[in-house]
Structure 1
Amino acid sequence: MTTHQIDELIARIKELEEEMEVEFQKKREDFLSVIDKKRLRLSEEVAAQQRRFKKGVVRYLIEARLLNILTAPLIYSGFPIFMLLDLFLFLYQGICFPVYGIPKARRSDYLVFDRGDLPYLNAIEKFNCFYCSYANGLAAYFREIAARTEQYWCPIKHARRILAAHDRYPKFFEYGDGESYRKGLERLRKEYEK
C-alpha cells in the first residue's frame, strides 16, 4: 500500500468520524435545548421527566454491591496522583512547548465536566462522573501533549503495529525511511493542526 493510498484511507476515516459526530449531535439535540454560559442544559420538560429516574443516596448505597463500596477508596486514592499529573502537564507544556515552538494543547478541550448537570444522578453518581471525567479527560490531554512532543522529537512509526495510535501518528515517517525523515522533519515539526 502506498503512502498516497494510506492518506486517502485516513481522509475517508476522518470523513466518517465527522459524519458520526453529526449524528451524535442530532441525538443530543433531542434532549438539549438551552445554552447557558457555554453549557448545554436539558430543556425543563426533559429535565422534569428525567428527575423521576433519580435514585436517592441512601437507596443507592443500600442497593450497591459491598465490593463496590469497599474498593471505592482505592479508586478515589488516584485523585491526588491525577492532580499532580495535571500540575506536571501544566508546567511541562508551559515551559517546554514555547522553547520548541509547539502550540499548547487547550486543557478545556479535553476536560469536560457537564454530566453533573444531569437531573437523574444523585450526589454520589455526580461525584463519580466528575472523577471519571477528570481522569479520562486528563488522560486524553496527556496523550495529546505526549503526541505533540513525539511529533517534534521522534515522528517515526514503529516497525510493529501499535494498538490505538494517537491521531498524529499517521503523519509520521515510515520505520526505516531515513531519507524522508531527514527531508521532512522540520516541515512536520510545524504541522500541528489536526
Structure 2
Amino acid sequence: MQDELEEEISRRGEAFRYSLRHGRVEFEEEARRRHREMRVRLGTFLRQTRPMVVLTAPVIYAMIVPFALLDLFVTIYQAVCFPVYGIPRVRRRDHIRIDRHHLQYLNGLQKLNCIYCGYANGLIAYVREIAGRTEAYWCPIKHAARVEGRHGHYAEFLDYGDAEGFEAGLQASREKVLKEGD
C-alpha cells in the first residue's frame, strides 16, 4: 500500500508541475508564479481567523517543549540501547520531513504552522518506529482487544495466548528486526 501511495504522489507531482531532484522539490516557474498569486496575505489571513483559534495557538505551540524533550530522550534511548540489542537504528530523516514551507501559496504563519506540524507528526512516526522495533524485539504479542493505529511490526506478532508458539515466535520476530538494517 505504501508503494501505491508513493506512485500516486509521484503522479500528482506531475499534475501539479513539480519534481523531486536530489531530495528537493522543484516547481516549474509558471507553477511558482501562480502559487505566489494565490497566497493569502498575513493580515487578511489573521482577520479571517476566529479569535478562539488565535487564543489556542499558545497551547499548541507550547507542545514544542515536550516534543523536543521526547525527541532528545528517544534519540538517546536508541543510541544507547539499540547497539546493545543489535537492532538497526531508525533514521530521523526517514520520518521527519520539513518541506511544506517552500510552498509559495502559503503565507509566513501558514509556513510556520507547516514546519511545526511536519516536525511534530514526523517525530511521532519516528518514535513509533523506535517503539515498534523495541516491542518486536522484546514482546511481539498481539493484544487481546483491538488496538487502533498499530505500527508496521504488529501484524506479524504472535496471537494473544499462544504460549506454545511464544519462544519460537519471539526468536523469529527478533531475527526479523535485526535484519531491518540490511
What's the TM-score, normalizing by structure 2? 0.92
For residues 40 and 21 of structure 1, the distance between their equivalents in structure 2, rounded to whole angstroms, comes to 15
Map of 1:6 onto structure 2: none
**SS, match of residue 74 in structure 1:** helix
Deviation at 1:28, TM superposition (A): 1.8
Contact 1:31 1:43 in 2 (8 A): no
Aligned residues: 179
For residues 35 and 147 of structure 1, the distance between their equivalents in structure 2, rounded to whole angstroms, comes to 30
Map of 1:125 onto structure 2: 110
Deviates more, 1:175-184 or 1:124-133: 175-184
1:35-114 aligned within 5 A: 35-114=20-99
* Cα RMSD (Å): 1.6
- Deviation readout 1:105-130 (Å, 9 max, x if unpaired): 11001100110000000110000000
**SS, match of residue 40 in structure 1:** strand
Structure 2, unpaired ranges of 5+: none
- Deviation readout 1:24-83 (Å, 9 max, x if unpaired): 320122224454542112111111111111011111112211111111011100111111
1:23 to 2:8 alignment: yes
Map of 1:185 onto structure 2: 170
Contact 2:90 2:130 in 1 (8 A): yes
Q: Assess, with a 3 A threshold, how the Cα gap between structure 1 residues 23 and 58 changes in structure 2: closer, same or farther.
A: same
Structure 1, unpaired ranges of 5+: 1-13
Map of 1:162 onto structure 2: 147
For residues 81 and 164 of structure 1, the distance between their equivalents in structure 2, rounded to whole angstroms, comes to 21
Map of 2:119 onto structure 1: 134
Q: Give me the identity figure in percent.
A: 45
